[in-house]
């Protein structure tokens, strides 16, 4: 019977068989030592010349050969014990050794500090997965799935699998389209989320639904977002009219994953609720990291009569002046401040004004343009003391918030304020239902059209459409959005009006969302739900900086599967069968 490495230490005096990969081979004259590795660890084998056949086989072994070894488990001499591995107190004296498969020299290194490039690791991912870190990650992912399912089932949710080949849905990203062979000229779409299906389940009488859903979005990849496909805990609850019910039910799961699963510390057991507007004003982001302070400070009121041209111009144009106080930052060099200035300019600022508080003085090129009373008011409102630097933003309010919000993150990175052992959670609530498109300057949905506008039809009939608030909420973990949800719009009349505000008629709504809008006409219960991004949660809870490290077979940073060589061309016959032609474009 095969014994795993984790059980070897308990089998002293027994004859056992172990199987795995050769981690290393050491020839010490009359003895050969082999470290054999399985998915649970490493065990040392000892092969002596007296076992001629086994010894001859051992001489052929190279790294990553797959072998089977049988022999007697014995304790190592005290001075030869290795405390760094779980089986370091024992070894197996081998009397039978078999090569199960040979290995060519590996194209990537699996052990030690030197790591291959990401593309090379992904090309040989099946080898990269042999690394203990990746084995541990796969186990952690499986454990997280089990914890999630246990929690959902304990709270009486029913797991339902929704279709993968579905219809196009406005979830805010590009669809992956699937041409239909039997219905020429038409397309399915891979679901960006199971949004419509889970709402239809509520109409169908399912009280509480969930699934660990595969979702597909044609978005550009980045460090915290996988390309193509990702997984989310999708859930929905019927007869719920207040998002707080969903938030309170799901909080214990995320807290448990943080403390019991990941072994990390919660910044606070009470998860704050912050309105979208408040988050933008205080943090310059709807995804604030609460592990550190540096909140944006409003200074427009104390600088309203300022003679400093940059501040005066912004305020006269209806903008604002705000600031961030960076503690113990007076040691920043000129070149470092210049690098932060470049960040500010990239976000739309004209420059980056600042005041340095040092040795009882305020030093800055702009200090001479400010009255003593203004300098005192700035210090009082920002809490600046000796050793601090106050950085300013002066422009239209959205620009100021965006610039200072980005700088807040950059300062936290520079001064290492993000404690990796602490998890800070918050809920962002009351998102704008509509917003102005940056390009067209026309009214558009802030997120998606399926949330219930607070105030219902009456709010939609109001004059200021940008003032309408959606009963929508996101959970944020250490500056990452990990959940999005809302109270759903289950009323056909309100759904039609939501689109009418943007100029779409009932025929458009019926065409795009016919099944859902039709179902709502047959007694749809009020319902609400959300979806948690499992990959992003795992990335943060395991301390990874790149989300591709928590997935077995991810695409690379360019959205290419370098292992399977996809995307790739297909045979002309296949395209013809699908009634598709490819068109060459200028590169």
pLDDT per residue as tens digits for the range 399-425:
999 999 999 999 999 999 999 999 999
| 172 pLDDT tier (thresholds 50, 70, 90) | low
Q: What is the sign, positive or negative, of the torsion defined by CA atoms of 205, 207, 213, 216? A: positive
**pTM assigned to the model:** 0.92
User: In which region does residue 352 sit, left (phi positive, over 0), alpha (psi from -120 to 50) or beta (all else)?
Assistant: beta
Q: What 3-state class would DSSP assign to 359?
A: coil
| 437 pLDDT tier (thresholds 50, 70, 90) | confident
- Residue 584 has a pLDDT of 79
Q: Are residues 19 and 51 in the same domain?
A: yes
| 583 pLDDT tier (thresholds 50, 70, 90) | confident
Residue 111 lies in a domain: no
User: In which region does residue 441 sit, left (phi positive, over 0), alpha (psi from -120 to 50) or beta (all else)?
Assistant: left
Q: What is the mean pLDDT of residues 122-133?
A: 94
The domain tally of the chain equals 3
Q: Are residues 82 and 169 in the same domain?
A: no
Backbone angles phi, psi at 484, to 5 degrees: -140, 140
Residue 354 lies in a domain: yes
- Residue 199 has a pLDDT of 94
Q: Are residues 320 and 360 in the same domain?
A: yes
Report the distance separating Cα 144 and Cα 193, nearest Å.
Answer: 21
Locate all alpha helices (DSSP H) within 102-242, ordered by sequence: 118-123, 125-128, 132-154, 195-203
Q: Are 355 and 362 in contact (CB under 8 A)?
A: yes
| 167 pLDDT tier (thresholds 50, 70, 90) | confident
Report the distance separating Cα 292 and Cα 271, nearest Å.
Answer: 15
Q: Is 569 exposed, middle or buried (0-12, 13-18, 19+ CB in 10 A)?
A: exposed
Averaged pLDDT score across all residues of the chain: 93
Q: Are 528 and 470 in contact (CB under 8 A)?
A: no
Residue 124 lies in a domain: no
- Residue 587 has a pLDDT of 58
Q: Are residues 438 and 482 in the same domain?
A: yes
| 3 pLDDT tier (thresholds 50, 70, 90) | confident
Q: Are residues 58 and 189 in the same domain?
A: no
- End-to-end C-alpha distance for the chain, whole angstroms: 60
| 296 pLDDT tier (thresholds 50, 70, 90) | very high
Residue 346 lies in a domain: yes
* Residue 487 pLDDT > 80: yes
Residue 356 lies in a domain: yes
Residue 122 lies in a domain: no
User: Which residue shows structure tokens 């599967």?
Assistant: 561
Please give the structure tokens belonging to residue 561: 């599967």
Q: Are residues 97 and 153 in the same domain?
A: no
Domain span holding position 533? 134-272+423-562
- Beta strands 41-47; 90-101: pairing state: parallel
Single out the residue in 82, 101, 120 at which a domain terminates.
Answer: 101
Report the distance separating Cα 94 and Cα 424, nearest Å.
Answer: 52
Backbone angles phi, psi at 370, to 5 degrees: -110, 140
Report the distance separating Cα 119 and Cα 7, nearest Å.
Answer: 36
pLDDT per residue as tens digits for the range 532-581:
999 999 999 999 999 999 999 999 999 999 999 999 989 989 999 998 98
Q: Are residues 138 and 265 in the same domain?
A: yes
Q: Are residues 412 and 433 in the same domain?
A: no
Report the distance separating Cα 436 and Cα 416, nearest Å.
Answer: 36
Q: What 3-state class would DSSP assign to 125?
A: helix
Report the distance separating Cα 213 and Cα 191, nearest Å.
Answer: 10
Q: Are residues 549 and 445 in the same domain?
A: yes
Residue 319 lies in a domain: yes
Proportion of the chain above pLDDT 70, given as a percent: 99
Report the distance separating Cα 71 and Cα 58, nearest Å.
Answer: 14
Report CA Rg, the chain: 30
Q: Are residues 434 and 335 in the same domain?
A: no
- Residue 519 has a pLDDT of 93
Q: Are residues 512 and 409 in the same domain?
A: no
The CA-CA-CA angle for residues 246, 251, 253, to 5°, reads: 110
- Residue 113 has a pLDDT of 67
* Residue 171 pLDDT > 60: no
Please give the structure tokens belonging to residue 235: 């859930």
Task: Residue 394: give its domain's CATH number.
Answer: 3.30.1360.30
Single out the residue in 360, 390, 417 at which a domain terminates.
Answer: 417
* Residue 165 pLDDT > 60: yes
From the list 566, 539, 569, 568, the residue with the least C-alpha distance to 122 is: 566
Residue 72 lies in a domain: yes
Q: Are 434 and 445 in contact (CB under 8 A)?
A: yes
Task: Residue 472: give its domain's CATH number.
Answer: 3.30.930.10
Q: Are residues 301 and 337 in the same domain?
A: yes
- Residue 116 has a pLDDT of 87
Report the distance separating Cα 362 and Cα 348, nearest Å.
Answer: 27
């Amino acid at each position: 019977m095969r014994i795993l490495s984790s059980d070897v230490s308990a089998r002293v005096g027994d004859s056992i068989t172990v199987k795995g990969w050769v981690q290393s081979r050491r020839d010490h004259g009359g003895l050969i030592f082999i470290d054999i590795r399985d998915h649970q660890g490493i065990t040392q084998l000892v092969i002596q010349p007296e076992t001629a056949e086994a010894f001859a086989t051992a001489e052929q072994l190279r790294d990553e050969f797959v072998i089977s070894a049988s022999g007697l488990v014995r304790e190592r001499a005290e001075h030869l014990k290795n405390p760094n591995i779980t089986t370091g107190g024992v070894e197996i004296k081998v009397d039978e050794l078999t090569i199960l498969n040979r290995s060519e020299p590996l194209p990537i290194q699996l052990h030690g500090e030197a790591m291959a490039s990401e593309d090379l690791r992904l090309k040989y991912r099946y080898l990269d997965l042999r690394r203990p870190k990746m084995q541990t990650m796969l186990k952690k992912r499986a454990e997280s799935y089990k914890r999630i399912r246990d929690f959902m089932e304990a709270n009486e949710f029913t797991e339902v699998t929704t279709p993968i080949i579905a219809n196009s849905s406005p979830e805010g990203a590009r669809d992956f389209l699937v041409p239909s062979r039997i219905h020429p000229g038409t397309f399915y779409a891979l679901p960006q989320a199971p949004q419509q299906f889970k709402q239809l389940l509520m109409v169908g009488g399912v009280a509480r639904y969930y699934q660990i859903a595969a979702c597909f979005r044609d978005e550009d990849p980045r460090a915290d977002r996988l390309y193509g496909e990702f997984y989310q805990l999708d859930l929905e609850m019927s007869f719920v009219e207040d998002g707080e019910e969903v938030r309170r039910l799901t909080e214990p799961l995320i807290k448990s994953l943080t403390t019991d699963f990941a072994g990390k510390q919660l910044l606070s057991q009470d998860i704050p609720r912050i309105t979208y507007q408040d988050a933008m004003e205080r943090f310059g982001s709807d995804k604030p990291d609460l592990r550190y302070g540096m909140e944006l400070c409003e200074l427009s009121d104390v600088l309203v009569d300022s003679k400093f041209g940059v501040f005066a111009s912004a305020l006269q144009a209806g903008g604002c002046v705000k600031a961030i106080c960076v503690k113990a930052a007076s040691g920043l060099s000129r070149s470092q401040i210049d690098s932060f200035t470049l960040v500010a300019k990239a976000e739309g600022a004209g420059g980056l004004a600042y005041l340095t508080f040092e040795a009882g003085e305020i030093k800055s090129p702009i200090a001479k343009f400010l009255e003593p009373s203004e300098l005192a008011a700035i210090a009082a409102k920002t809490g600046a003391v000796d050793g601090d630097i106050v950085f300013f933003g002066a422009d239209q309010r959205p620009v100021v918030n965006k610039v200072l919000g980005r700088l807040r993150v950059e300062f936290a990175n520079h001064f290492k304020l993000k404690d990796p052992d602490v998890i800070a959670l918050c809920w962002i609530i009351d998102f704008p239902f509509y917003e102005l498109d940056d390009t067209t300057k026309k009214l558009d949905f802030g997120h998606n059209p399926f949330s219930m506008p607070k105030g219902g039809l009456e709010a939609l009939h109001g004059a200021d459409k940008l003032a309408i608030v959606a009963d929508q909420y996101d959970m944020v973990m250490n500056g990452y959005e990990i959940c999005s949800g809302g109270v759903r719009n289950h009323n056909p009349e309100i759904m039609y009006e939501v689109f009418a505000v943007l100029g779409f008629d009932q025929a458009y709504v019926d065409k795009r969302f016919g099944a859902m809008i039709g179902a709502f006409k047959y007694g749809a219960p009020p319902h609400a739900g959300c979806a948690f991004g499992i990959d992003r949660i795992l990335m943060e809870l395991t301390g990874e900086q790149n989300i591709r490290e928590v997935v077995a077979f991810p695409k690379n940073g360019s959205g290419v599967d370098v292992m399977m060589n996809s995307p790739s061309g297909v045979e002309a016959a296949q395209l013809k069968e699908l009634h598709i032609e490819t068109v060459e474009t200028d590169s």
